[in-house]
Amino acid sequence: MLKPKPSIDTIQPYQGGKPIEEVQREFGITDIIKLASNENPLGPSPLATQAIAESATQVHLYPDGNAYYLKRDLAQHIGISEEHLILGNGSNDVLQLIAEAYIAPEDEVIYAAGAFVVYSLVTKLCSATAVVVPMQNDTHDLAAMAAAITDKTKVIFVANPNNPTGTMVTVDETAAFMEQVPNDVLVVFDEAYYEYVSRSDYPQTLPYVLEGRNFAITRTFSKIYGLAGLRVGYGIAPPALIETLNRVRQPFNCSLIGQAAARAALKDTDHVVKSQEHNNIGKAFLYNAFDDLGLRYRETEGNFIMLHVGQSGADVADALLRKGVIVRPIAGYGYPDAVRVTIGTQQENEKFIRDLKVASRQLSAIR
């Protein structure tokens, strides 16, 4: 067989969960809930589903490769110009474009241990050297990340908030960090859960872009906007950087239906507010339930919680799966005794807690 370039051998293909239908068939259960991928349990905005239906008759046409209207709406929404924006097939696509455009094999890329997995994937893809910096309290240690910069550093990825820990870096930490980063290093703040954050010391990073720093922000329609299945994400960066990314981007990387749905979703502020409130209520419910059970967790700024289960997270996830609750074991992130659970509807959260109690008891009895 033809050998791929050496760095590709080190990449583990993404392990997707089984489709819900397959879990239903295998375990003979019907009421399955998926709390494994940090999707919005309220679903998409009704305005988005309407736009999807309306644009369905147009799918014989290629999408607008420049996403003219979506960029215009987003620019207005964010308060920037269209030249600061690039659309992606999900924000993962934008992260990969950044890597492909900027990271060469001789470069170093800094990210945190326990940070979102894509930074490691794209670093390997580019055959570059990963400089993985330990977290402090499951949180990006920006001071240590700044101290890890060398003259080979090209890109630093920061997930804020981070998946799977749910933790965030503050405005002060970010300001101190940015003072230390030389301007020939590109800083990428991945803000996939931006709209869920409620802490007031969360950094607004747009000024770094507008100052013309080598700074990129990625955000997405997959999370609070409930459009994960359509794959629409975007990057915000200085125009010169966007121009470079556009050279790497496939011309039609953001689908026609995705663009239409994202525009509609952006207009539905009620749905966003409802989703935020819903998430906060679910979060409080789950914190309480975990406290009652004596289980340790990290307070989250996202729509998911890292929960320590006091035993193998993989075993607990497997036992829950058999009861029809899909959660994510996160041993691969360095947390073998934890699972990541998405905050669901009230009914889903209640079922999760009920089944978690039974699954934990059963597993303890087995051991």
Ligand X SMILES: Cc1ncc(COP(=O)(O)O)c(C=O)c1O
**Where does this chain bind ligand X (CB under 6 A)?**
38, 90-92, 116, 159, 163, 190, 192, 220, 222, 228, 233
User: Among residues 323 and 340, whose Cβ is nearest to ligand X?
Assistant: 340
Q: Sign of the C-alpha dihedral, residues 165, 170, 173, 174?
A: positive
Contacts for 254 with CB less than 8 Å, ≥ 6 apart: 63, 67, 70, 87, 88, 89, 231, 232
Q: What is the smallest separation between the CB atom of 197 and ligand X, expressed in angstroms? A: 12
* Residue showing the smallest CB distance to ligand X in the complex: 90
Q: What is the smallest separation between the CB atom of 362 and ligand X, expressed in angstroms? A: 30
User: Among residues 222 and 279, whose Cβ is nearest to ligand X?
Assistant: 222
User: Among residues 41 and 355, whose Cβ is nearest to ligand X?
Assistant: 41
Helices (H) and strands (E) in the chain, counts: 13, 12
Q: What is the smallest separation between the CB atom of 123 and ligand X, expressed in angstroms? A: 15
Three-class SS of residue 81? Answer: coil
Contacts for 190 with CB less than 8 Å, ≥ 6 apart: 91, 95, 116, 157, 158, 159, 160, 218
Q: What is the smallest separation between the CB atom of 111 and ligand X, expressed in angstroms? A: 11
User: Among residues 126 and 227, whose Cβ is nearest to ligand X?
Assistant: 227
Question: Is the Cβ–Cβ distance between 302 and 202 less than 8 Å?
Answer: no
Residues linked to residue 235 through DSSP beta bridges, in sequence order: 86, 218
Report in angstroms the alpha-carbon separations of 352 from 10, 31, 79, 202, 297.
35, 12, 40, 30, 15
Q: What is the smallest separation between the CB atom of 157 and ligand X, expressed in angstroms? A: 10
User: Among residues 220 and 255, whose Cβ is nearest to ligand X?
Assistant: 220
Q: What is the smallest separation between the CB atom of 130 and ligand X, expressed in angstroms? A: 17
Closest by CA to 332, choosing from 10, 6, 15, is: 15
Name the token pair of 265. 């979703």
Q: What is the smallest separation between the CB atom of 220 and ligand X, expressed in angstroms? A: 3
User: Among residues 192 and 330, whose Cβ is nearest to ligand X?
Assistant: 192
Tokens 């929960």 correspond to 307
User: Among residues 163 and 253, whose Cβ is nearest to ligand X?
Assistant: 163
Residues linked to residue 329 through DSSP beta bridges, in sequence order: 339
